[in-house]
């Protein structure tokens, strides 16, 4: 009798002990992995963790290091196979502290950087994450020519080209793990080259590599460069892999033109949740006030550009939607800059995914978009731009190519090429563009 009671007591004690150990183990956070995303102005580290973690981040000098102290975390991951060739982080090491209860991560960095950290809640394929951003202590001033510096000089038309997603946010993923973030960057880069080749035009990329940029920052970059147009380039996806073709969207301030457009905008707007933004990156109220004042004019211009781009895309492949649609895309919300979003094709359609990956097809896409953009600005050159100052000459009776060439002091060859003329035949009333001499 006494023995069995003792046994029972022992059993209860043992159970309690296991319970206690069990609960400690369940509570202890696990560090599951890390990804590093270097971009031109910051390096971002994303730690996967099993639950929100109490942490402290600070910097040390001589040599320059960043310390990330994590409380109640088990050191589980090995930082193997990390590429340290780009960005500020040159090495990562982790050590257990406080008898295995805490973890200290030390980042060896190439220069003095300012750390900034925040937690992200689970979203999509991601669980809890801790983001550590490293920025240069003294920001290099980027050289951006302002409008004032152009007062006496006709300026270039600036086209901001935004490759959707990037870094932590892969966008849609197609067959053979072809990723939206990669194919749209390739198309965007090719498009920039075409824009730069065009006299009187200049292209600006919002991102030039595989890193994430919050939606508001994309438009901020475009505005910093005083862009005349914002093009956001994407690839669509749908659960039915037969869905195919390109489509073009503009912003709607009054609800989407279709349920499909509404869902698409919702999906694209999730980019910030997947890629991760801090509170201070969120839309501020001022921006939304400005939006109401001048958005309408921008929307009209946007839809004109969009129609032209859609026409261009029709020439290189199938269209998903014959008309330009509207929905509440956050990346298109700029009060003073016409903005359109292009879904180049369906990456969920294996055939279109392979095509999107082909450099030849990417060039075709870029060319089609460029065609639409060019024809819009030829018809509507913004005041003060080189394109607005193109001289025109209406042919009068008795004028010849040679008399016109000599009166403007340009060569006959340049007159021919600017106007795609084969011979010397001119019609009375015909309008010629006069190239710069």
Binding site for Zn ion (CB under 5 A): 164, 171, 234
DSSP secondary structure letters along 243-302: ---BEEEEE-SS--SSHHHHHHHHHHHTHHHHH---GGGSPPHHHHHHHHHHHHHHHHHH
CA 67 to chain centre: 30
What is the Rg, in whole angstroms, of the alpha carbon atoms belonging to the chain? 28
Burial group, residue 85, by CB count within 10 angstroms (0-12, 13-18, 19+): exposed
Q: Which is nearer to Zn ion, 132 or 310 (CB)?
A: 310
For the CB of residue 164, give the shortest distance to Zn ion in the complex, in Å: 4
Task: Kindly give the interhelix angle for 285-316 and 359-379, rounded to the nearest 10 degrees.
Answer: 110
Using the minimum distance from each CB to Zn ion, give the nearer residue, 166 or 317. Answer: 166
Q: Which letter, b or e, does each residue of 293-332 get, where b requires 16 or more Cβ atoms within 10 Å of its Cβ?
A: eebeebbebbbbbbbbbbebbeebbeebbeebbbbbbbbb
**CB 400 to Zn ion: min, Å:** 54
CA–CA distance, 168 with 126 (Å, rounded to integer) = 10
- The smaller minimum CB distance to Zn ion, of residues 67 and 319, is found at 319
Residue nearest to Zn ion (CB): 234
Q: Which is nearer to Zn ion, 44 or 234 (CB)?
A: 234
Nearest to Zn ion of 252, 385 (CB atom): 252
Smallest distance, Å, CB 268 to Zn ion?
5
Residue 376, sorted as left (phi over 0), alpha (psi -120 to 50) or beta, turns out to be: alpha
CB nearer Zn ion, residue 157 or residue 347: 347
Provide the minimum distance between the beta carbon of 228 and Zn ion in the complex, in angstroms, as a whole number: 23
Whole-angstrom distance, CA of residue 249 vs CA of residue 196: 24
CB of 171 to Zn ion, least distance (A): 5
Looking at the Cβ atoms of 218 and 234, the one nearer to Zn ion is 234
């Amino acid at each position: 009798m006494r023995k069995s009671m003792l046994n029972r007591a022992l059993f209860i004690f043992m159970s309690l002990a296991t319970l206690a150990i069990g609960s400690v183990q369940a509570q202890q956070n696990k560090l599951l992995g890390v990804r590093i995303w270097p971009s031109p102005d910051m390096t971002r580290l994303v730690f996967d963790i099993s639950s929100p973690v109490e942490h402290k981040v600070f910097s040390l000098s001589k040599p320059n290091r960043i310390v990330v102290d994590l409380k109640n975390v088990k050191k589980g991951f090995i930082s193997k196979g990390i590429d340290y060739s780009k960005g500020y982080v040159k090495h990562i090491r982790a050590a257990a502290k406080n008898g295995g209860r805490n973890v200290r991560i030390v980042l060896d960095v190439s220069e003095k950087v300012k750390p900034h950290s925040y937690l992200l809640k689970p979203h999509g394929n991601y669980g809890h994450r801790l983001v550590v951003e490293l920025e240069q202590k003294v920001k290099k001033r980027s050289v951006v020519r302002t409008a004032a510096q152009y007062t006496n000089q006709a300026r270039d038309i600036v086209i901001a080209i935004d490759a959707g997603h990037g870094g932590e946010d892969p966008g849609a993923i197609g067959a053979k793990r072809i990723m939206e973030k990669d194919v749209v960057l390739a198309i965007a880069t090719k498009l920039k080259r075409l824009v730069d080749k065009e006299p009187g035009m200049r292209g600006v990329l919002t991102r030039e590599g595989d890193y994430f940029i919050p939606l508001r920052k994309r438009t901020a970059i475009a505005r910093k460069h005083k862009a005349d147009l914002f093009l956001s380039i994407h690839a669509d996806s749908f659960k039915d892999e037969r869905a195919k073709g390109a489509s073009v969207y503009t912003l709607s301030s009054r609800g989407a033109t279709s349920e499909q457009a509404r869902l698409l905008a919702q999906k694209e707007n999730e980019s910030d949740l997947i890629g991760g933004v801090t509170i201070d990156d969120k839309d501020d109220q001022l921006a939304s006030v400005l939006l109401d004042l001048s958005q309408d004019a921008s929307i009209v211009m946007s839809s004109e550009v969009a129609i032209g781009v859609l026409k261009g895309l029709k020439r290189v492949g199938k269209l998903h939607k014959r008309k330009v649609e509207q929905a509440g895309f956050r990346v298109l919300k700029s009060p003073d800059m016409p903005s359109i979003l292009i879904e180049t094709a369906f990456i969920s359609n294996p055939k279109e995914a392979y095509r999107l990956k082909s450099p030849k097809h990417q060039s075709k896409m870029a060319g089609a978009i460029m065609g639409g953009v060019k024809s819009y600005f030829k018809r509507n050159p913004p005041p003060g731009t080189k394109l607005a100052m193109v001289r025109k000459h209406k042919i009068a009776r008795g004028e010849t190519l040679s008399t016109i060439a000599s009166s403007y002091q340009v060569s006959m060859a340049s007159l021919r090429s600017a106007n795609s003329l084969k011979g010397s035949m001119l019609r009375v009333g015909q309008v010629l563009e006069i190239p710069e001499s």
